[in-house]
Amino acid sequence: MDIQIIRCAPDRLKAKPADESKLGFGKIFTDHMFTVHYTEGRGWHDPVIGPYGPITLDPTAMSLHYGQEIFEGLKAYRGKDGSIYLFRPMENIKRMNASAERLCMATIDPELFMDAMKKLVLLERDWIPRGEGTSLYIRPTMIATESALGVHPSSQYLFFIIVGPVGAYYPEGFSPTKIYVCEDYVRAVRGGVGNCKNAGNYAASLYASQKAKAMGYTQVLWLDAIERQYVEEVGTSNAFFLFGDELFTPPLSGSILPGITRDSVIQLARSWGVKVTERAPSMTEIISGIADGKLKEAFASGTAAIVSPIGQIYYQGKEHVINGGKTGTLTERLYNEILQIQYGDKPDPFGWRMKISD
Ligand SMILES: *Cc1c(COP(=O)(O)O)cnc(C)c1O
């Protein structure tokens, strides 16, 4: 399918951010966006890269009532020589389609998805920041657009991609986070939609996150919904715990988001000879591991930060400090290695990097 490109009028182009150290996350978007529509019986049609702007929906658009909304998150990186790279983009495409199937939404042709992403990033290449650790964030999204009330799968969808420059996650170096172990509320349950990037999961997480923030913690550590004992995720990231020489991360049991960074961490650590076990540690193991020093490092993984060290855990009224509140050696090594692969500074033995322009 050929993508029609409608360029923004020159006098409508936005001013690019002057200070790359103030980009932050999710505040700035570029001049263009990609859109394509789906109609039952007709399939996907009218793919366009056109001016960025509001979308019009009927008040009964089904995504607004019944939550058929899924998204993805990945980045485009500018190497020192000016090359532009994506990191494992096919994995995001596959995950978007897995989310679509679970939520009875239309799946999208991977080739069209990839083509749209590359063309949009290249059209907006001047927006890709140059500073260390900065990137162009890519947010593919799909919403149900059929105008009708009554719970049923929508017969129409809008898929769009927007992109925007984002700042370095650690402009002043690593800062280990304080996390709050949540026992009162859960993010997802096995058999539910916790393994999809579906909007409702994030709405469900807000209440506990707000409570954690009010108490001075950065993130919530989510426990399993049944026993409230086994670790699931940290905020919107996957969780890792280094006990002795063995790295543990919860298995993909259905309630956990299958993070692409999670998979990269597992593959890298294994390639270095680290034993990685997909098993969820219990809070009992974590607290006793902190007490007797067996728990050496803990970190969260995700596209935004790559890895985020955990320095402190609040559980049942007590503070527990991990590794003296400092970033662990393995955590830091994983961060540096993945960062350098993403920006083209290191060889890419796994074939994760996709160069989209010299
Ligand atoms: C996106 C996300 C992750 C991390 O996935 P990556 O592919 O590594 O960015 C982890 N948990 C949740 C809940 C997420 O939404």
- Cα 36 from Cα 18, distance rounded (Å): 32
Query: Probe ligand 1: pick from 99, 141, 206, 238, max atoms within 8 Å of CB?
Result: 238
Residues 319, 291 contacting (CB under 8 angstroms): no
Establish whether residue 205 lines the binding site of ligand 1, counting it when its CB lies within 6 angstroms of any ligand atom.
no
Dist. CA 269–CA 162, nearest whole Å: 33
User: Which two tokens mark 154?
Assistant: 């929508």
Question: Is the shortest distance between the CB of 257 and ligand 1 below 6 Å?
Answer: yes
Q: How far apart are CA 335 and CA 352, in angstroms?
A: 15
Cα separation of 28 and 63, whole Å? 24
Residues 83 and 357: their CA atoms lie apart, in Å, by 5
177-342 has which CATH code? 3.20.10.10
358 CA to centre of ligand 1 in angstroms: 29
Q: What's the 238 CA to ligand 1 centre distance in angstroms?
A: 7
Task: Please report, for the chain, the start and end positions of each structural domain, with discontinuous segments joined by +.
Answer: 4-166, 177-342
Q: Taking the CA atoms of the chain, what radius of gyration do you get in angstroms?
A: 21
Q: What confidence score (pLDDT) does residue 86 get?
A: 98
From the alpha carbon of 197, which atom of ligand 1 is closest?
15
Tell me what pLDDT residue 174 has.
87
pLDDT in tens, the chain (358 residues): 899 999 999 999 999 999 988 999 999 999 999 999 999 999 999 999 999 999 999 999 999 999 999 999 999 999 999 999 999 999 999 999 999 999 999 999 999 999 999 999 999 999 999 988 999 999 999 999 999 999 999 999 999 999 999 998 887 778 899 999 999 999 999 999 999 999 999 999 999 999 999 999 999 999 999 999 999 999 999 999 999 999 999 999 999 999 999 999 999 999 999 999 999 999 999 999 999 999 999 999 999 999 999 999 999 999 999 999 999 999 999 999 999 999 999 999 999 999 999 9
DSSP secondary structure letter of residue 151: S
| Topology (CATH) of 4-166 | D-amino Acid Aminotransferase; Chain A, domain 1 (3.30.470)
Q: Is-contact 351 94, C-beta < 8 A?
A: no
Verify whether ligand 1 is closer than 6 Å to residue 302 (CB atom): yes
Answer whether 112's CB lies under 8 Å from 119's CB: no
